[in-house]
Structure 1
Amino acid sequence: MRLFAIADLHIGHKLNRECLYQLTQHPDDGLIICGDVGEKLDHLRTVFELTTQLFKQVWWVPGNHELYTLPTEKLGPRGEQKYRECVSLANEFGVLTPEDEYVRWDGDGGPCIVAPIFTLYDYSFRPDDVKREDALNWAAQTDIVATDEMLLHPDPYPSRDAWCDALVDGTIPRLEKAATLGLPLIIVNHWPLRQDLVKLVKIPRFSLWCGTKRTEDWHTRFNAKVVVSGHLHIRRTDHIDGVRFEEVSLGYPRQWEDARNRGKNINDLLREILPGPAYKGNEPTRWRPLG
């Protein structure tokens, strides 16, 4: 009984949506869907309906794209309401979310506690000499602005920063409680927990929209065995303080084109979280463009 993960399916793209149907049966395994399935509830419905038929248990955490209110849906749900509607849909399919109790994993690599969380970001992944009020201008100097600024509304909070603070404040006691159970945690979040994992060579100032410094020590503070994330569209494995960090994005079609050209499909790009690879100690970053 293995635990797999994938993020950033972006099934609004036709090719990604088609590749989804190549997923094979895993009747004894679990699957973590680590955010950015798509922008519409119908995207989530498609993925939940399929994956819950293929896997024994499915987990989902939101990414920024699930929280979008598209221009064609100006009167649609915004901010927290959009998130709550996504959670309600997940509940219909028995998909576990950050709103559910964390559950114990007794399959291969266990026992562990699987802890899906939702933190958003607060623009703090920036140089120390850049003030918060200057952050967006700092990014704009290199023509970087996230679509979130137009489509991800923080309602009912006054800002995304404030929503992030509320989410982090609410998550800490839950992780503290889970950590007292004496089992290691599998922490699952769409956004990376640490700024040093955000290495975007072509668009470095996009880091503003990639997390919060408030989570930097959570891997040790809450006894994590593995931390799973997406968002960056750069598949990689890191070990920090003896904890394995897995970036498990599929990404936009152009970003996994090389894998397709080499005969890979979505099954090859599922990342095995548990039991996972053996840790040999002092391992450098492993870049995984092909799986």
Structure 2
Amino acid sequence: MGRLYAIADLHLSWDLNRQELAKLDYCPDDSLILAGDLGEKAEHLELAFEVATKRFKKVYWVPGNHELYSIASGDDDNPTPRGVKKYEECVEIARRYGVLTPEDEFAVHESEGDPVLICLLFTLYDYTFAPPPHDKSPEKALAWAEEVGTVATDEILLHADPYDHKVAWGLARQAISRQRLEEAKKKHPDLPLVLVNHWPLRRDLIYIPLAPRFEIWCGSVKTEAWHREFGAKVVVTGHLHVPRTDWRDGCRFEEVSLGYPRQWQGPRDNGLDINTLMREIWPGESERKGEVPLEDSTRPRWRRNG
């Protein structure tokens, strides 16, 4: 039985990243997690799913902020869907290819290691990843970020329709994800979980040195203990474009993004490609070697070079 791999932030609007996707090895016994930000358009998702499903036994997907962007099509008779409808369009595309989404039942992954339950989540964010007192409201958080000129494209292209604000949509998605996790633990009490979400579940694992205040668009404080509460073995996220491995409470946290071409120029120069930059999630190198740390990691393991 095969292994479980993950990669995020393929950003297929970039030609070089599309070329890289075509280099995916054929791994008919393995499964692949696509942890969000495949691109902004339906054609980007279709390309990713077309390639991945031909290479891997099973493919899982969660949305990132870029999939939720509503970009004007110039066709007044067929307006671009916004908010929940844009997300639902993405889910329908995934289902045409047999790709599992956060709207499907959590799947048991059988591999060369112990079986695990793959929990596909969609939590969005609620602007609470800001320091006090800026975390008291989205307006205060946004003002804090704007002090240094940081404004996410989300504020222009990511809409929450029919919700009146992205915070309301984020809180609704967090509630749905929590309920599904609670139900999963009742149904599979002995199975360890792999939590998959595009946005980081913990603020202390966010490192964006060029735009540190971008963290307000990176998640919610409400998810910070989910790995412990639900007995997760691994948490898979993307979004930051800073691949790294961390350990908290015996749980391995993997940031698995590829990023924009300029951000992984170094790995390309060193002869690495998408196959060496994908991350093995389960059973995982540490688990196979029996090297699971007994204490939380004080320093991340940076993985820009694989």
TM normalised by structure 2 equals 0.93
Determine helix, strand or coil for the equivalent of 1:72. coil
**Structure 1 residue aligned with 2:289:** none
Q: Identify the match of residue 162 of structure 1 among 168, 182, 189.
A: 168
* Aligned equivalent of 2:71: 70
Higher alpha-carbon deviation: 273-282 or 113-122: 273-282
What is the CA–CA distance in structure 2 between the aligned matches of 1:251 and 1:108, rounded to whole Å? 30
Decide which moves more: 274-283 or 167-176: 274-283
Q: CA deviation at 1:109?
A: 2.6
Indicate the residue corresponding to 1:261 in structure 2.
269
Aligned to 1:125: 129
Q: Does residue 1:242 correspond to 2:250, yes or no? A: yes
- Deviation sequence 1:89-128 (CA, Å, 0-9, x none): 1001100000000011111232110001100000000002
Q: Does 1:172 align with 2:178?
A: yes
Amino acid at match of 1:217: A
Q: Which residue of 1 aligns with 2:293?
A: 280
Distance in 1, Cα, partners of 2:114 & 2:60: 17
Question: Number of residues paired by the alignment?
Answer: 291
Secondary structure of 1:118's partner? coil
Q: CA offset at residue 79 of structure 1?
A: 0.5
**What is the one-letter code of the residue matched to 1:13?**
W
In structure 2, the residue corresponding to 1:9 is in which secondary structure?
coil
Aligned partner of 1:281: which letter? L
2:23 matched residue in structure 1: 22
Tell me how far apart the structure 2 counterparts of residues 205 and 197 of structure 1 sit (CA, whole Å).
14
Distance in 2 between the 1:16 and 1:104 partners?
30
Give the deviation of 1:280 after TM superposition. Answer: 3.2
AA aligned opposite 2:225: D
> Partners in 1 of 2:283 and 2:113 — Cα distance?
4
Structure 1 segments unaligned to the other structure (5+ residues) = none
Bigger mean CA deviation after superposition, 68-77 or 14-23:
68-77
Do the aligned partners of 2:256 and 2:278 also contact (CA within 8 Å) in 1?
yes
The answer to whether the aligner puts 1:191 opposite 2:191 as a matched pair is: no
Note the C-alpha offset of 1:153.
Answer: 0.4
Q: Using the alignment, how far apart are the partners of 1:109 and 1:147 within structure 2?
A: 40
Q: Distance in 2 between matches of 1:109 and 1:202?
A: 38
Equivalent position of 1:81 in the other structure: 85
Residue aligning to 1:142: 148
| C-alpha distance in structure 2 between counterparts of 1:231 and 1:207, whole Å | 10
Letter in 2 for 1:160: K
Q: Give the CA deviation at 1:229.
A: 0.1
Amino acid in the other structure paired with 1:70: I
Structure 2 counterpart of 1:105, from 109, 113, 120: 109
What letter is aligned with 1:223? G
In structure 1, the residue matched to 2:50 is 49
**1:50-106 deviations in whole A, cap 9, x for unaligned?**
100000000000000000011335721000000001000100110000000001111
- SS at structure 1 position matched to 2:285: coil
